[in-house]
């Protein structure tokens, strides 16, 4: 069977199992197995070897039981980057690209060499995208998970982006000399509420609980801890769950942040809250 025929069958198989974007998923998985890209799939006339057919069948089965596509390919695109991902570390989401957008906007007012801290960096997605798009910035990332720290460092190295990643709680690992000198603290913290967790799709629950569970506790802790790190006028930009806009806005205002605003994602859901210290 030629790859195009294999794809047709695989697509209908995934569709019957209720997998989202069945065609694209089948293409991505087959391209991965054959070591080619999407164009290569359609150009190839040659059939699959037995080993390739087996590997593809295995990937399809796993996808049907809710293993995220990204865990099967080991890759996720994020803004202009291609990041390595793996089980044990949160897979970056497209809606987080809005967080980066708002963070970069905030940095436009800073003329040169801003200092940026990404709290809970995971694969390094946010920190690395900011470094790539604002190369004069000094970017530091922290994470409590040793697995995340290792992966973020690997991604930084492979992409040739100079981001320093440190293991620890929130801003604790940041060097003392940066106190009062940080231009921007950005974070996509864990924000799923405990009672929501069970109702999430299996692809989301494939991420570690440490990366998901938090409600608004992290927003509260960040609003409390960041002001002593920020320079006057420095900003806090955080991702939120779509129902948390009013609450997180109120938390920042309570802590004395100015110009607090809630920004929506492309699907028009509240997604980011930003504010700055006086
Ligand atoms: N920034 C990444 C992204 O957007 O793809 C990962 C976001 S994930 C939702 C949250 C991250 O925060 C996880 O990597 C998790 O390990 C980390 N984390 C959880 N609790 C933390 C804490 N107390 N201090 C630092 N990082 C923490
Ligand atoms: N975006 C995740 C979800 O799909 C939650 C991410 C987070 O907790 N930061 O629910």
Q: Could you give phi then psi for residue 39, rounded to 5 degrees?
A: -65, -40
The stretch 240-262 carries a mean pLDDT of 98
Under 8 Å between Cβ of 276 and 234: yes
Question: What digits encode the pLDDT tens for the residues 130-160?
Answer: 999 999 999 999 999 999 999 999 999 999 9
Residues 6+ positions from 79 with CB-CB distance below 8 Å: 97, 100, 129, 132, 133
Residue 189 known to be catalytic: yes
Token pair 């570390």 is at which residue? 89
The answer, yes or no, to whether any atom of ligand 1 lies below 6 A from the CB of 173, is no
* Closest CA relative to residue 211, chosen from 32, 90, 105: 90
Give the nearest ligand 1 atom to 221 CA. Answer: 23
The answer, yes or no, to whether any atom of ligand 1 lies below 6 A from the CB of 226, is no
Instruction: Give the Å distance between the CA of 191 and the centre of ligand 2.
Output: 6
Residues 6+ positions from 175 with CB-CB distance below 8 Å: none
The answer, yes or no, to whether any atom of ligand 1 lies below 6 A from the CB of 215, is no
Residue 215: the pLDDT is 97
Residue 2: the pLDDT is 85
How many angstroms separate the CA atoms of 48 and 50, rounded? Answer: 6
The stretch 90-101 carries a mean pLDDT of 98
Identify the nearest ligand to the CA of 99 by its number.
1
Residue 160: the pLDDT is 98
Identify the nearest ligand to the CA of 145 by its number.
1
Summary mean pLDDT of the chain: 96
Under 8 Å between Cβ of 7 and 30: yes
| Residue 277 reports pLDDT greater than 90 | yes
Instruction: Give the Å distance between the CA of 2 and the centre of ligand 1.
Output: 43
Q: Which residues share a beta bridge with 237?
A: 186, 274
Instruction: Give the Å distance between the CA of 189 and the centre of ligand 1.
Output: 5
Question: What digits encode the pLDDT tens for the residues 194-209?
Answer: 999 999 999 999 999 9
The answer, yes or no, to whether any atom of ligand 1 lies below 6 A from the CB of 169, is yes
The stretch 64-83 carries a mean pLDDT of 95
Residue 237: the pLDDT is 98
* Closest CA relative to residue 55, chosen from 75, 82, 73: 73
Token pair 């420095």 is at which residue? 234
How many angstroms separate the CA atoms of 84 and 70, rounded? Answer: 9
Which position among 92, 173, 189, 227 bears the catalytic label?
A: 189
Which position among 3, 22, 78, 90 bears the catalytic label?
A: 90
* DSSP state, residue 114: -
Which position among 3, 92, 173, 188 bears the catalytic label?
A: 188
Using DSSP bridges, classify how beta strands 138-143 and 115-119 pair: parallel, antiparallel or unpaired. parallel
Q: Could you give phi then psi for residue 264, rounded to 5 degrees?
A: -95, 160
Q: What is the pTM of this model?
A: 0.95
Q: How many angstroms from the chain centroid is the CA of residue 8?
A: 31
Q: Which residue out of 118, 191, 216 has the highest number of ligand 2 atoms within 8 Å of its CB and is therefore the one to mutate?
A: 191
Q: What angle do CA 76, 269, 96 make, to 5 degrees?
A: 25
Q: Which residue out of 100, 118, 130, 144 has the highest number of ligand 1 atoms within 8 Å of its CB and is therefore the one to mutate?
A: 144
Question: What digits encode the pLDDT tens for the residues 105-125?
Answer: 999 988 899 999 999 999 999
Give the nearest ligand 1 atom to 92 CA. Answer: 5
For ligand 2, atom 4, the nearest C-alpha belongs to: 204
Q: Which residue out of 97, 126, 143 has the highest number of ligand 1 atoms within 8 Å of its CB and is therefore the one to mutate?
A: 143
How many angstroms separate the CA atoms of 197 and 51, rounded? Answer: 38
Residue 73: the pLDDT is 93
Residues 6+ positions from 155 with CB-CB distance below 8 Å: 83, 84, 123, 124, 128
Residue 188: the pLDDT is 98
Identify the nearest ligand to the CA of 171 by its number.
1
How many angstroms separate the CA atoms of 142 and 121, rounded? Answer: 6
Direct distance between the N- and C-terminal alpha carbons of the chain, in angstroms, rounded to an integer:
66
Token pair 């779509």 is at which residue? 242
Under 8 Å between Cβ of 237 and 96: no
């Amino acid at each position: 069977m030629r790859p195009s025929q294999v794809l047709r069958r695989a697509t209908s198989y995934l569709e019957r199992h209720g997998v989202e974007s069945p065609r694209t998923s089948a293409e991505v998985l087959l391209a991965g197995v054959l070591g080619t890209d999407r164009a290569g799939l359609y150009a190839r006339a040659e059939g699959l070897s037995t080993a390739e057919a087996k590997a593809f069948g295995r990937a399809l089965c796993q996808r049907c039981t809710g293993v995220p596509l990204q865990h099967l390919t080991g890759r996720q695109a994020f803004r202009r980057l291609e990041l390595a991902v793996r089980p044990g570390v949160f897979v970056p989401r497209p809606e987080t690209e809005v967080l980066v957008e708002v963070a970069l906007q905030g940095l436009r007012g800073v003329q040169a060499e801003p200092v940026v801290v990404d709290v809970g960096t995971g694969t390094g997605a946010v920190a690395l995208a900011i470094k790539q798009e604002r190369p004069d910035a000094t970017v530091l990332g922290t994470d409590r998970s040793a697995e995340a720290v290792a992966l973020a460092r690997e991604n930084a190295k492979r992409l040739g982006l100079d981001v320093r990643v440190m293991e620890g709680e929130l801003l604790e690992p940041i060097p003392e000399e940066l106190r009062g000198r940080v231009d921007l603290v950005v974070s996509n913290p864990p924000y799923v509420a405990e009672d929501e967790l069970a109702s999430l799709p299996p692809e989301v629950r494939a991420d570690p609980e440490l990366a998901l569970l938090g409600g608004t506790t992290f927003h509260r802790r960040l609003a409390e801890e960041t002001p002593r790190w920020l320079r006057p006028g420095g900003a806090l930009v955080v991702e939120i769950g779509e129902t948390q806009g009013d609450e997180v806005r109120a938390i920042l205002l309570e802590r004395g942040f100015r110009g607090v605003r809630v920004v929506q994602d492309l699907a028009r859901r509240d997604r980011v809250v930003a504010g700055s210290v006086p």
